[in-house]
Amino acid sequence: MSGLVPARLSVGDQVRVGGAGLRARPLRVVLSALGIAIGIAAMIATVGISASSREDFNRQMQALGTNLLTVGPGQNVFGEEAQLPVESVGMIERIGPVTEAAAIGLLPDADVYRTDRIPVGQTGGISVAAADVGLLSAVGTTVADGTFLNGASAQYPAVVLGAAAATKLGVGWAGAEQQVYLGDHWFTVVGILHPAPLAPELDTTALIGWAVAKQLLRFDGSPTTVYARAADDAVTAVQKVLAATASPEAPNEVAVSRPSDALAAQQAADATLNALLLGLGAVALLVGGVGVANTMVISVLERRAEIGLRRSLGATRGQIRGQFIAEALLLSALGGVGGALVGSAVTAAYAISQGWPVVVPAWAPAAGIGATLVIGSLAGLYPAVRAARMSPTEALATP
């Protein structure tokens, strides 16, 4: 008898034995795996949505460019808003690395309405501004319908509406029959713009020609915002000299900004929120691990007779321990794979709804499933050791 050697179970045998234990309690298995699946799905969806948003941001920046700089009036020594010189656009264009520059000039005394029957003051937050004909290429946006102002239309009562301005005015298309009441004059809507990510102020603005603004609305010709494109390798250098170039007499009264920096800051804020969501997903995953441990402990208590029978038939402590660890790993893997699939599906659905490219980093599902296996092995370790320590007589004697 002393020469008998216990039969060894292969890895496949251990998996089959562990799977049989799970199949005997399907409802409990599903509920336990659900806790892990929720945690993994939350983490993968957070990573995937963040990666999709970042990819969309990178594509936007590649298309729009990060070389746009804006120049606007700051404040003078008395705390009042300063004014850019009329010649500021021409002076900025003389900077060597500047490839193009265009300006708008706000008309604070002019309002735009759908008809002349609307009460004064109910403008819906729409601004009116004179615009250079080269504005679109400078800010990196396009016309959604109609055309933009050109050398001819800028001389006449023609207006181009920003995307939000057109919506608020109820103008769905451009054409000779579409007119708005602007500054006590009727203007024909010749174009509607797409949203301008780098110049969002244009979305709620009605743009008219520089010449007609002077002729009909007493515009003094002073720009309120100058948009300048610089060579990619000279953006920082140009940014440093813009204020002094735009207003040599009072450079301290000029505000210079880089719109892409604001978008990058917004992306960084989104990354902070994503870190918080990842933390919540990790908590859900930990709770799921506790659920696995609880399931396995209860399983050991309920299956004492089975454990005793297997021990009496020759199963070793190691085989009993391996059986319950295999069950815990299978249970965790079930939750991990399910969570990875759900998280990827949520990412795809949300990205498509936002018009983003769908990006789920390959490491995210792999790391998620790996984390569930680690948690599953830790969660199943104590119940497995407890089951292995039972003697056959003690286990069989338990009612």
Sketch the domain layout of the chain as residue ranges: 11-61+264-397, 67-258
Q: Is 50 exceeded by the pLDDT of residue 1?
A: no
Average pLDDT of the segment spanning 266-288: 63
Region of residue 65 (left: phi > 0; alpha: psi -120 to 50; beta: else): left
Mean pLDDT of 153-172: 95
Structure confidence at residue 169 (pLDDT): 95
Chain mean pLDDT for the chain: 82
Residue in 181, 189, 115 with CA at minimum distance from that of residue 153: 189
Q: Write down the pLDDT at residue 330.
A: 83
Cα 252 from chain centroid? 36
Give the residue among 214, 196, 246, 201 at the shortest CA–CA distance from 107. Answer: 214
Give the pLDDT of residue 52: 83
Alpha-carbon span 217 to 201, nearest angstrom: 21
Choice among 99-103, 201-205, 268-272, 273-277 with the minimum mean pLDDT: 268-272
